[in-house]
Amino acid sequence: FKNKDNEYPLFEPMNLILRAAHACEDNNNDFSILDYLFDEYGLSLKDPKYNFYHSDMKYIKEANDKYILMEEVEDTIIYQNALIYDYILSADNPNSQIIKYLVNRGAKFEVYNEDTNWTPMHFWVMQNNYKLLELAIKGGANVDMQTRLIQESEYNETLLFEAVKEAETYRVTQLLIELGANVNFATPRTPLDDAKGSRNKKLLKDAGAMTSNEIRKKFNLPAYDSSHCKIDGKDDMDLLGKYLDECSKLLNDAIKKAKESE
């Protein structure tokens, strides 16, 4: 139905799911109401757009099994309205069991802002909000969640890269490492290449982190040389992007192979 400003649905799945999640929280994680909504009543998050209220769905630019991309709009934090973030930010005592339940049912943490290419979790890193990050990761969020700086690449910066760029966010760095973040993920730069502050660097080194040059030296890999990516003295972005991906794969494969042989 409509009023003079907006159109509202008679049925709002996300609202029902959120209310049931809060009820579950109030009743010592009794999942029976949520089970009923999904298994008997027929609600589903298989279509990723149902991670949002009906009024916000029109701002979804892309939605698939891997991520949701929200358009750049006047409401710059609209991507925080996604189901899993709405629950975490609105619940009195959000807990990882309920978060994990919603994730298993299809709720997504990979909700990106088109302007920044970040999720709310990336902003939590910069805000030093390690408590919310711990809750999310223990609830099923990927500890190595990437930005979407280069959409076609598999080697974008992870949360750990953002954490180590500021000396003040060492508590987040410590948390991410404790929860299993890959300290040697290469883009082809590694977190140690970008780390600021003595505590961040020590945390990384204690966890076995290396710079990209140290990885090359240890595994006898070719040095970085992007000179062939220039045309008329300027970087050709397609050639450079392809070369960066090749370098990243080389470094990451070497680290992976070494771990598998331990």
- Compute how many other C-beta atoms are within 10 angstroms of the C-beta atom of residue 9: 12
Under 8 Å between Cβ of 202 and 194? no
Residue 9 has pLDDT above 60, yes or no: no
Q: State the pLDDT confidence band at 1, using cuts at 50, 70 and 90.
A: very low
Q: How far apart are CA 185 and CA 118, in angstroms?
A: 18
Q: Has residue 165 got a pLDDT over 50?
A: yes
- Delimiting residues of CATH 1.25.40 domain(s) in the chain: 1-142, 143-262
Specify the CATH number of the domain 143-262.
Answer: 1.25.40
Q: Is cis: bond before 9, omega within 30 of 0? A: no
Q: What pTM does this model have?
A: 0.90
Q: How confident is the model at residue 86 (pLDDT cuts 50, 70, 90)?
A: very high
Mean pLDDT, rounded, for 192-220: 98
Q: What is the pLDDT of residues 114-150, one digit of tens each?
A: 888 999 999 999 999 999 999 999 999 999 999 987 6
Which residue would you say has higher pLDDT here, 109 or 1?
109
Question: Which pair of tokens denotes residue 193?
Answer: 């290449």
Q: Considering the chain, what percentage of its residues have pLDDT values greater than 90?
A: 78
Q: For residue 8, what pLDDT is reported? A: 56
- pLDDT bracket for residue 12 (50, 70, 90): confident
Quick one: CATH architecture of 1-142?
Answer: Alpha Horseshoe (1.25)
Under 8 Å CB-to-CB from 189, ≥6 apart: which residues? 212
